[in-house]
Amino acid sequence: MDMNELQNKSVGLVLSGGGVRGMGHIGMLKALQEHKIEASVISGSSVGALVGALYAGNRDLKDMLAFFKETPLFKYNFVTINKPGLVDTERYYPIFKEYIPFADFESLHKQLFVMTTNLQKGVEEVFSTGELIMPLLASAALPPVFSPVEMNNMLYADGGIMNNFPSEPLKGKADFIIGSNVSMVREVSKKEISSSFQLASRTTSLMVYAINRQKIRSCDIIFEPVELEHIGVFDKKAIENAYTIGYDHACRVLEELSVKSQ
């Protein structure tokens, strides 16, 4: 692949879910920026949708990291007793609005597709027009921690439940598709599957990975920093580490591609 040629093509970007591991997406964006590669259309699920919205709003990388560092995952006064879930997702609305100050999708600088799960119908739903913040809240509302978000009299939750690597909305919308997947699986020891929680977590990861594997492989470039597997989905202390892992991995992949294209 000719890297110079890529700089002149329309680029689509797929960003997976993965909690704090999603900081790897921001590191990847820094590497793309350094290689003068910019996407014009983005599709994201869960944390990928949030990073995608910040990117589509032309926020710089420091602002992106600040958003995740400063947004509290669990705030005592956000705890809900009236809704399913531990935390009331809609209480995050003003925090999201501060960092993503756009009234609707149409106001963004790049086209964005946000994957959500309609819990009542049992289907995935993509949002790309109209009000922006509520679909973003829904896409990142991971059960059972965060409550579902109500839109159009329906309950919506994390896009990753049904589609953690939403490449479908980009079909026919870009010459070149770049994928960033931060929900990969590695071989684990028996000790790492020694509790009910670890067992549930492992089987969920395997199902998500298997369902999306073929789509991931079909991307023109894929970034999958396996080292992120060691970082917990809710481990806020690992934000900088996940960012660095994503950046270093993307740099290596792009350098290898640059060498091959010479």
Instruction: Please report where in the chains the tokens 């700089």 appear, as a residue.
Output: 7
- CA–CA dist 87, 68 (Å, integer): 17
DSSP string, 100-145: S--SBGGGSSSEEEEEEEETTTTEEEEE-SSB-HHHHHHHT--TTT
Q: Which amino acid is at 217?
A: R
* 231 touches 241 (CB < 8 A): yes
Count of beta carbons in the 10 Å neighbourhood of residue 140:
28
Sign of CA dihedral 21, 9, 176, 55: positive
Active site residues: 46, 158
Ramachandran assignment for 130, one of left (phi > 0), alpha (psi -120 to 50 degrees), beta (any other): left
